[in-house]
Structure 1
Amino acid sequence: MRQAPAVFRMLAPLIATGVLLVGCGPSPAPITTPSGSSAPGPAQTAAADKPLRVAPAPSSLNLPVGSLYKNPANNRSELVLADVRHTAVLIGDSQSMPKDSWPQQGITAMGYKLHVVGMGGTGYVATNGKTGNYIDALQRGDWVLPFGDPPLIVIQGGGNDATQRATDAQITSNAERLLAALKKRYPGATLAMIGTLAKGVGNGGGRRTEIDALLGRIAAKHAIPFVSAGDWLTRYDAIGDLQDGVHLKASGHAKLGTALAREFTALGLMARPDTAEPAK
């Protein structure tokens, strides 16, 4: 009987320690990210998934139409338009640049207002010495895109890439870069592409017709609406409407503008009137 208290006195500290360990349980090891830092909790993760910068609605800023705005969402200067929600953006070369060009006529015939950027002598790879190709010019800010959310962005070109002998690999690489940049910058916009104006395979279309087909394959890969123009000069009897072998007279622009509007309409790209007030 005298030994029990002695044994108990010996075991008591161990028993007490065991009770504490069982009652509290082991402390969980911290979860770490690949960099070694502690992983955020659920609330922190949800917050981290949200974009750090969100572009404000144009209408909420009361910016003067025609002014440049430094968009905090992408850190780029963008042009404030009067009605960006109903304005299509056209990126192109000298086929698109003249006022009332066939690409401009085709797009406006569907009910859109228009914002045009680009320059003659440029393309997916081609440059004219004054500005870069499509993707480089846009990334450098040579051409200013609109602030807000345009519903449609159309890319036209390829003729100067043929003239400057750009390879399929170069055109594909830059087209992929351009499409990725536009999707990231305007995730809500529909992208569409117009191929390279030419005479067609059997009528001397040559490299221009080849590039038209290449652009069609790129568009198909991204499920982007595409209008092939690689035989339009022949198909629409517009060779006689050329003023210099490459560029069209007003009669040719009107002829092909009608054809483009018909093709785009068939693809479901018509403007959709929206009378709702813009989001505040």
Structure 2
Amino acid sequence: MLEASARAVLIAPVIAATLLLGACGLPSQPAAGTGGPSVTGAAAAPAAAPGEAVAAGSPATGDFTAVDPSGLPAGALFRNPANGRDEVIIDNIGRTALLIGDSQSEPEASWPRRALAGLGYDVFFCGKGGTGFVASNGTTGNYVDALQRGDWHLPYGFPPLVVIEGGGNDAKQGASDEQIAANAESLITTLKQRYPGAKLAMVGTLGKGAGNGGGRRAEVDALLGTVAAEHGISFVSVGDWLTRYGLENQLADAVHMNDDGHRTLGALLGGRLSALGLGPR
């Protein structure tokens, strides 16, 4: 009797309607220069086995045969049997850009999201303000830890483009070059394995540049460029963009843009990504 009951609990798939707001967001379909819809919360539910649907926050358990996820709604978490991770079902994965980032990317109308939307992508965001390659905000781990322990979840399927943005919080929290490079390399390796065939790009650390008081932010931007080159992926240096393009008057605070700044930087980044051949196929 106990064996039959346990089998019934494990086999029955559990559908999650939405993700938690602090985790990966649902892909948005904004017009160029606009943000996507907000994501509401959902309570955690029992775990499912690999290949089953699972609610946000559920631990990984079980070892069952995969089921077809094609009937699951957008926003459901699905335990990918290939890697044992909970991943998010989204629509139109073939036109989606995965964006991993910090508070520069988190707002729905942020300059990285505007750039990708302007190229014609739906944008799926993973990350959180205060985090980075090494930096944690206290509740969400750095990019590597957050992925490994499920603070946020990657999309299921194969997006054509993956963009990693960050480094500012690593500079602020005093991470060393060795720590930043090691974690950046770990994340790049993981993403290449998970999404073979996807184009990868990195966007550096927004700042004023080494010659204009950019300090550690400029150093981290240059370091990330070196890491990207070593791994053969595209890199957009933004370490001096605030002064190069005269954008200091479009800052909302010391490091974040106001609406005009997001719009201006979004157009600049979109043009750079397009020139690198990173638009949709």
Q: Tell me if TM exceeds 0.5.
A: yes
8 A contact 1:92–1:118 mirrored in 2: yes
Aligned residues: 218
Aligned to 2:206: 197
Q: Give distance in 1, aligned partners of 2:275 and 2:67.
A: 34
Aligned to 2:243: 234
List aligned pairs for 1:190-269, cutoff 5 A: 190-269=199-278
Aligned to 2:168: 159
Aligned to 1:124: 133
List aligned pairs for 1:54-203, cutoff 5 A: 61-203=70-212
Q: Give distance in 1, aligned partners of 2:262 and 2:200.
A: 23
Share of identical aligned residues, percent?
58
Amino acid in the other structure paired with 1:151: P
Amino acid in the other structure paired with 2:183: N
Deviation at 1:144, TM superposition (A): 0.9
Q: Give distance in 2, aligned partners of 1:221 and 1:172.
A: 11
Deviation at 1:75, TM superposition (A): 0.8
8 A contact 1:135–1:177 mirrored in 2: yes
Q: Give distance in 2, aligned partners of 1:152 and 1:54.
A: 29
Deviation at 1:110, TM superposition (A): 0.8
Q: Give distance in 1, aligned partners of 2:268 and 2:186.
A: 29
| 1:207-260 deviations in Å (ceiling 9; x for gaps) | 000100000000001110000000000111110111111111000000100000
Q: Secondary structure at the match of 2:164?
A: strand
8 A contact 1:54–1:73 mirrored in 2: no
8 A contact 1:55–1:73 mirrored in 2: no
Task: Indicate the structure (1 or 2) with the bigger Cα radius of gyration.
Answer: 1
Which 4+ runs in 1 deviate beyond 2 A? 53-58
User: Per the alignment, do residues 78 and 213 of structure 1 end up closer, same or farther by CA in structure 2, a change over 3 Å counting?
Assistant: same
Normalising to structure 1: TM-score of the pair?
0.75
Q: Secondary structure at the match of 2:71?
A: coil
User: Per the alignment, do residues 185 and 148 of structure 1 end up closer, same or farther by CA in structure 2, a change over 3 Å counting?
Assistant: same
- Unpaired runs of at least 5, structure 2: 1-63
User: Per the alignment, do residues 84 and 204 of structure 1 end up closer, same or farther by CA in structure 2, a change over 3 Å counting?
Assistant: same
Deviation at 1:56, TM superposition (A): 8.2
Q: Secondary structure at the match of 2:252?
A: coil
Q: Give distance in 1, aligned partners of 2:179 and 2:72.
A: 39
Amino acid in the other structure paired with 2:200: L
Normalising to structure 2: TM-score of the pair?
0.75
Q: Give distance in 2, aligned partners of 1:114 and 1:209.
A: 27
Deviation at 1:62, TM superposition (A): 2.0
| 1:18-46 deviations in Å (ceiling 9; x for gaps) | xxxxxxxxxxxxxxxxxxxxxxxxxxxxx
Amino acid in the other structure paired with 1:102: W
Amino acid in the other structure paired with 1:74: N
Q: Secondary structure at the match of 2:123?
A: strand
- Unpaired runs of at least 5, structure 1: 1-52, 273-280
Q: Secondary structure at the match of 1:219?
A: helix
Q: Give distance in 2, aligned partners of 1:97 and 1:113.
A: 15
